[in-house]
Amino acid sequence: MNYFTLDQLSEINSGHDHPAKFAVIGDPVAHSLSPQLHQPALNELKLDCRYIRVEVPEGQVNEALEKMYAAGIRGINVTVPHKLEALEACHQVDPAASSMGAVNTIVFNAAGQRTGFNTDGPGFVRAIREEFGMDLGDLRVIIIGAGGGAGRAIATQCALEGCPQLILANRTLEKLTPMREELTRLAQSEKLEGPRDRIEIHSLDDPILEEAIGASELIINTTSVGLKSSDPAPFPSHWVEPHHLVYDTIYNPSRTHLLRDAESQGARIANGLSLLLHQGTLSLEHWLNKDAPVDAMRQGLLDFLKA
């Protein structure tokens, strides 16, 4: 097994020269790519410690965090399905993570107190800068699949960045109404520039979607449609035009149906590898308080995916 269970936490360092200091929790967790990102970074920084996976059943996140701190773990990544439970298990939560309703990074202080962050949103800002050389806050954005976890994090970041247009689309429209209320509240309380109370919401079958996409500069897919190679695009991809930037948060397969069609229509495209990378670089920076070795982390990911 490439992960530890809660019962095995007392043994995480037996037979190892270097102690486990960082970990990802999830259920399932065996396929998490976080070790491929973070171990090369720890090696590059010569920190002589390990990054491990820990399988944590739902409802046991608080207990798991206590045990992991006792076992010497000092920084945590959180993956599905624990991002809300992790938020509730933190002593302090970054306000942006609260608005996103999810924590994916936990830092322990010397007394074992936990502070929660969400690096998916800020990681997306870095990803857009790297892929397209643009600031997210300057772009007119539409998010397809805004009702999911990734969609909500990115939508919140767009509001924080003050994007001049923010259109949220989702198959299930009802999920977007409370999200728009939360984002409007956030925009008002933080006195944010940008869409404020002009955040539009649409279902994926709303006839206005074609026009909404046409009016956008950045189209983001945060649905799970595309995870299977046989999946269609999540909306009619002939709506994509050459002026569009199209970001698909899916990275495996590396080119979804949407990205293939968008590229053939002359749009600039990017897949979710840069988001995976940069949510990780930001996590590491929260734990270590220093710049992440981005190239080592990117190489770790690419080596793994190539293999």
Contacts with ligand ATR, residue ranges (CB under 6 A): 80, 145, 147-151, 170-172, 175, 204, 222-225, 234
Whether residue 164 has a cis bond before it, omega within 30° of 0: no
Nearer to ligand ATR, 162 or 261 (CB): 261
Q: Which two tokens stand for residue 203?
A: 């279902």
Q: How far is Cα of residue 139 from the mean position of the Cα atoms in its chain?
A: 19
Residue nearest to ligand ATR (CB): 148
- Active-site pick, 21, 67, 83, 290: 83
Nearer to ligand ATR, 83 or 114 (CB): 83
Residue 274 neighbours by CB distance under 10 Å: 23
Q: Where are the beta strands (DSSP E) in 62-164?
A: 75-78, 92-93, 105-108, 114-117, 140-144
CB of 255 to ligand ATR, least distance (A): 19
CB of 205 to ligand ATR, least distance (A): 10
The answer to whether 306 is a known catalytic residue is: no
What is the spatial distance between Cα 231 and Cα 153, in angstroms, rounded to a whole number?
24
CB 163 within 8 A of CB 141: yes
Nearer to ligand ATR, 49 or 154 (CB): 154
CB of 128 to ligand ATR, least distance (A): 18
| Location of structure tokens 């206005």 | 208
CB of 225 to ligand ATR, least distance (A): 5
Rounded to 5°, angle at Cα 110 from 109 and 114: 30
Nearer to ligand ATR, 21 or 82 (CB): 82
Please list the active-site residues. Answer: 83
